[in-house]
Every structure is written in C-alpha cells, then in structure tokens.
Amino acid sequence: MDLLEYQAKALFRQIGIPVLPSQCIDHPRDLKQLEIPYPVVLKSQVPKGGRGRAGGIRTVENTIDAIATARAIFNLSILGKYPNVLLAEAHYDAEKEFYLAVILDYTLKRPVLLGSCQGGIHVEGVMAQMQRVVVEEDFSPFYARRLAFKMGLQGHLIESVSDIVQKMYQLLIQKDLDLVEINPLGVSANHEVMALDGKIAVNDHALGRQSELANLASSLTQTLQPADQPTDLQWTDSQGNIGVLSNSPCLAAATLDLLYKAKGKPASCLIVDGYASWDVPSAASPVQQLQNALQQLTDTQNIQVVLVNILSNAAASEAVAEVIASYLLSKDENNSGVSGVDPAKTPTTGKLHSHDSRNRRRRNLTPKSLSRTELPHLVIRLANGKIDNIQDRLAALPVHWMDNLEQAVAQAISLASS
C-alpha cells in the first residue's frame, strides 16, 4: 500500500527529514484561510506517479488563482483516481534535484540504497545516473556515505545527503516499510536540502505491528475516490488505435506525451508494477501482471499496435522479454496465423532489430486475412538486457524491437497509420 504524499511527509517530519511548510486542503474554500505565503504549490493527493504531467501539480500566485486551480485539480482524474485532499505547500527554488530511495530487495533479502544525481519526472535521466549500495551487514553511516560518493557528490552535500539517507533507512526499519523514496530531493543555491516529494510503500503484513500505519491505511481507503473505469485499465480512448504498456506511471505519461506530440492516437494505457523502474517488488506476480496486460491489449478490437515501454535493469528486462515471448508464441499457436502486414514494407525510424533476415523468413510465410484472432503489431522498447535469442524466436511474428523511445513511438505511429 502506498501512502499519500502528505502522509509520507508527516513521517519524514517525525524522523527529521526536512520538508516544506504545508497544509492539507479538503475544499477550495479552505484556501481563504491559508497560512502559507504565496507563491504556493497545489498538489493532488493520489497514490499515483505522473501527477505533474497530468496537471495535478500547479503553482499559484494568489488566493483567487488558488481557488480556481484547486477546483480543477479536485475534478482531475489521475490514472483512475480523484483526490479528496490537496496539499498546499510552500514554493521552493531548487538549483539541483536528486533521487534517493531505500528499498527492501526481496531477491537479495537485504535493504538497498538507491541514489541518482538527477531527480524529477524525467525517468530515463534518473535511471541513467542511478547508483546502488546493498546493505550487506548491520547498517552504519558508511553505507550512506558510500552512496553519496558513488553519486558524485562533493563537499557539504556528502554530509547532508548521507544524513538524509540514514534517516530514510531508519524510517524503513522502524515502520516495517517496503520503500522510502524522495524524488526529488531539492538542493538550493546555499546547499540546503529539502524533500520536495515523497513516497512510502507500506508492507501490508506489518500493519498489525504498526498501529499508526494501520490508521493511515484505513483513512486512505476511505478518502480516495475511484474514477469511473476499471482499476486495471489506467487510461482509455475509444478513438485510438495504439495500446501502451509500461511499468511506471511517469514512464507511461512520457510515452503518451510523445505519442500525442507526434499525432499518434493512443487507445489505452496499462501500467504493471512487477518490473518497477527501481526494482521495487510487487505483491502481485509480475509474470501474471504482464501476461494479463498483454492479453487485454492484444485482444482489444480497435488496437492495431501495442507499444511496450519498460525500463529496468538488464536482468529484469531479459525476464520481461521472456514473458512476452512465451505469451506471444502461445497465442500464435492458438490463432489462425500472424498478421499479413510485412514490416519490411512499412516506414521505419531508427534501429529495427527484426529487419533483414528475420523479415525474409516472415515473407516465406503464407499471409492470411487479418482478424482479431491475430496479433496486432508489437513495438517493444527495452533499454537493457541481452535478448538476441528471444528476438530470433519471435522473428516470424509482427514484433519490432527498438532501443530508443522516440524511435519506438515513431515506429508505432507508422504501423498504426499503415
């Protein structure tokens, strides 16, 4: 269970992690009694990422603008949820932004410290700079300082950032948490650090030992309003023809942004938690989640192309590719055939792994008439991992492997248009 931002920051405040002055807003009229000087940032309180891209985080300069903006945010669905509470928070001028997290790695059975010298909503940039330190033995400040050094920090930042990492670890252990994340950790011109956003994932099995968290969980289920759509279908448009599958709300939002800017027509967007961007484990089976999502998108009548954009480490990317291969090969055996559209005859942008010899093998197949029992085109973008063998296994299917997100978006739009 993920806490809301204001709940996470309350725990930050208790443990000594610096947070900005803030107030919870239950109704736009509450802003008339706001005690925080303007400018103020209004934030939708839903346990979802991508709030900024969706319009759920906005800066206001006065009470009139604040009330109008609050009304808009209260009526804004973000990935299937409407907020019942907004967080009004003081504005902060950050010169730099970092990413920090402490997680329980269920594979290693150890806590892991994560840090990136780039933070914020640009997920790919954050991941490109990501450093990790496994806590092998009893925790000591050495681990936090080692992470700060690996992030390339210098001077006073080493001490201030490592101090926050220590407190994050302490919070994780004291409260039986699965994840403590700060993204971004803002750094001002005078090297002051501030947790500008926070995420906490509670271990459901620990609620019996943590009465405070149990109360937060109870209030969370009572206050969140679901949007009028299935919980597993995060976003949908009946006029579109491209399905999107991603493993992070921020990554999904970035993919949708690129599709719209390139005049693409997204039909629906599904988000799976199993192979999360920071390798945070999910309670549900990641294999089952991915299979269910693939089935839903490939079985939808109007979807002509499924764009898979999953960002993770090499091992997880290889596992994702294997799940996709197993699903597609199983589905192809049960279907009457593969798509009769030859990707060699469609415009391509960037590196297309299934080109040349693989397309020659596909042209030796007997084309069959298109029907919904057949697979739509799949454009798969995995940033890491050795998957050449899997690409060969899927060479006869309408599957296109891309390295770059913008190229994958262009390829998906080209296939959907043709």
* Residue, of 202 and 42, whose pLDDT is higher: 42
Count of alpha carbons within 13 angstroms of residue 411, beta-carbon side: 31
DSSP category for residue 400: E
DSSP string, 112-126: EEEEES--SS-HHHH
The Cα 97–Cα 318 span in angstroms is: 31
Read off the pLDDT of residues 2-17 as tens digits, 9 standing for 90 and up.
889 999 999 999 999 9
Using the 8-state DSSP alphabet, how is residue 242 labeled?
E
Q: Who wins on pLDDT, 349 or 252?
A: 252
- Which of 23-37, 83-97, 114-128, 324-338 has the lowest average pLDDT? 324-338
Of the two residues 98 and 272, the one the predictor is more confident about is 98
Rounded to whole angstroms, the Cα distance separating 95 from 123 reads 19
Q: What is the pLDDT of residues 327-376, one digit of tens each?
A: 888 876 665 444 434 433 333 333 333 333 333 333 333 333 334 457 89
Report pLDDT for 176: 86
Helix (H) or strand (E) segment spanning residue 14? helix 5-15
Mean pLDDT (whole number) for 408-415: 94
Tell me how far apart the alpha carbons of residues 128 and 117 are, in angstroms, rounded to a whole number. 10
Q: Determine the Cα–Cα distance for residues 326 and 101; give it in Å rounded to an integer.
A: 33
Choice between 215 and 230, residue whose per-residue pLDDT is larger: 215
* Average of per-residue pLDDT across 90-119: 91
The mean pLDDT value of the chain amounts to: 80
Count of other CB atoms within 10 angstroms of residue 118: 18
Neighbours of 115 (CB within 10 A): 28
* Tens of pLDDT, residues 117-157: 988 877 778 888 899 999 988 899 999 999 999 999 998 99
Q: Pick 335 or 160 by higher pLDDT.
A: 160
Q: Which residues contact 172 (CB under 8 A, 6 or more apart)?
A: 102, 104, 111, 179, 180
Q: Alpha helices of 175-205 — where are they, by DSSP H?
A: none
- Are 165 and 148 contacting, i.e. CB atoms less than 8 angstroms apart? yes
In this predicted structure, the answer to whether residue 410 has a pLDDT above a threshold of 90 is yes
List the one residue out of 383, 291, 375, 292 whose CA is nearest residue 341.
375
- For residue 161, give the nearest of 137, 194, 196, 133 by alpha carbon: 194
First CA to last CA across the chain, in angstroms? 42
User: With pLDDT > 70 as the criterion, what percentage of the chain qualifies?
Assistant: 77
Beta bridge partners of 346: none
CA pair distance 40, 89, nearest whole angstrom: 6
Residue 213 — very low, low, confident or very high, per pLDDT cuts 50/70/90? low
Alpha carbons 49 and 156: distance in angstroms, whole number: 31
More confidently predicted of 254 and 57: 57
Average pLDDT of the residues in 54-75: 93
Query: Cα–Cα distance between 381 and 310 in angstroms, integer?
Result: 7
Does 285 or 299 have the greater pLDDT score? 299
> How far apart are the C-alpha atoms of 231 and 49, rounded to whole Å?
15
Q: What confidence tier does 273 reach under pLDDT thresholds 50, 70, 90? A: low
Mean pLDDT value of segment 296-317: 86
Nearest to 190 by CA among 214, 165, 156, 235: 156
- How confident is the model at residue 81, as a pLDDT? 77
Top mean pLDDT of 60-64, 299-303, 332-336, 391-395 is at: 60-64
Residue 303 amino acid letter: I
The residue with greater pLDDT, 251 or 134, is: 134
Least confident range from 154-158, 316-320, 321-325: namely 316-320
3-state secondary structure of 7: helix
What average pLDDT score do residues 227-246 get?
63
Tell me the average pLDDT across 157-162.
95
**DSSP-H helix ranges across 112-248:** 123-128, 141-150, 156-174, 211-223
Q: What is the pLDDT of residue 386?
A: 84
**CB neighbours of residue 80 within 10 Å:** 19
Q: Please indicate whether residue 286 or residue 202 has the higher confidence score (pLDDT).
A: 202
Cα–Cα distance between 280 and 268 in angstroms, integer? 24
| Residue 229, CA distances (Å) to 199, 393, 415 in order | 25, 36, 28
What b/e string do you get for 100-112 counting C-beta neighbours within 10 Å, with b at 16 or more? Answer: bbbbbeeeeeebb
Closest Cα to residue 122, out of 245, 248, 10? 248
Beta bridge partners of 23: 88
Comparison of pLDDT for 370 and 268, the residue scoring more: 268
The rounded distance, in Å, linking the Cα atoms of 399 and 388 is 13
Average pLDDT over residues 290-310: 89
Comparing 337 with 201, which gets the higher pLDDT?
Answer: 201
Measuring CA to CA, how many Å separate 302 from each of 11, 162, 296, 385?
46, 51, 12, 31
Q: Which of 284, 418, 297 is nearest to 347 (CA)?
A: 418
Token digits for 146? 């080692």
